[in-house]
Amino acid sequence: MVRVPTKLVTWEEIVEWSMGLARVIKESSFRPDVVVAVSRGGYVPARLMCDFLLVDNLVSLQSQHWTEAAKVAEKAIIKFPYKLDLSGQRVLLVDDIVDTGDTLMLARDFILSEWRPAELKIAALQWISPVAKIKPDFYYIEVKEWIWFQYPWTRHEDTVQFIKRILLEERGKEWTYEEIRARFEEGYGIFVGDAYFRLALESLVELGILERRGGTYVAKTV
């Protein structure tokens, strides 16, 4: 049975953590000219860094894991490697979390060699110190034991994935809404709220993974 240690992160916590991270940056001597968001996770924290540090310039770079067909190993890629001249600029590269650090290291290396800023520093709301290959220059929370942080900007996406995993364990089984919800809470230890839960079930039906039969749900077998 799938069980993933998960913490539900609220929008209020995001504001509090981002304000805390901005404070850490302010207490250093680093004054960024440009903020670069690591897409997609760094978007909201990067926007909040611009707000709290009063920085006007914000761009983004999509660095993400790419699962090659039939391969278990994932490698990080820069999805849209566009050209940009950041010579003379001090860059703050922002992500939500440093987990393994792979996508962040790739983004950093790409920016340093292709966009050529005068200086680059890394900031993240959270740093999972036991698994991360790099330590960000600035972070707000050091996480000592790996868990999944359910951030508000992936609430729907994560809920869809979490329910999908539960349903695919027992294909063909007929579930009521309450049963799926109870199994979700058991497996992930959180509840995202009825609006998100119903929206996720609707998406799973649209994706053809789930079938609605009157008041119950059945995971499709093909």
Among residues 89 and 150, whose Cβ is nearest to ligand ADE? Answer: 150
Q: Which is nearer to ligand ADE, 97 or 111 (CB)?
A: 97
Cα 190-186-64 angle, rounded to 5 deg? 55
Q: What are phi and psi of 200, to 5 degrees?
A: -65, -40
- The token duo for 185 is 């809470």
Question: CA-CA distance, 109 to 203, in Å (whole number)?
Answer: 37
DSSP state of 115: I
Least CB distance to ligand ADE at residue 205 (A)? 26
Interface residues for ligand ADE in 60-99 (CB under 6 A)?
Answer: 97, 99
Q: Please list, in sequence order, all residues whose beta carbon lies within 8 angstroms of the beta carbon of residue 51, skipping any fewer than 6 positions away.
A: none
Count of residues in contact with ligand ADE, rule CB under 6 A: 4
Give every CB contact of residue 74 below 8 A, 6+ residues apart in sequence. Answer: 65, 66, 67, 68
Q: Which is nearer to ligand ADE, 99 or 122 (CB)?
A: 99
Q: Closest distance between ligand ADE and the C-beta of residue 148, in Å? A: 5
Residue closer to ligand ADE (CB basis): 4 or 199: 4
Judged by CB under 6 A, the chain residues 146 through 185 that form the site for ligand ADE are 148-149
Residues forming contacts to ligand ADE in the complex (CB under 6 A) are 97, 99, 148-149
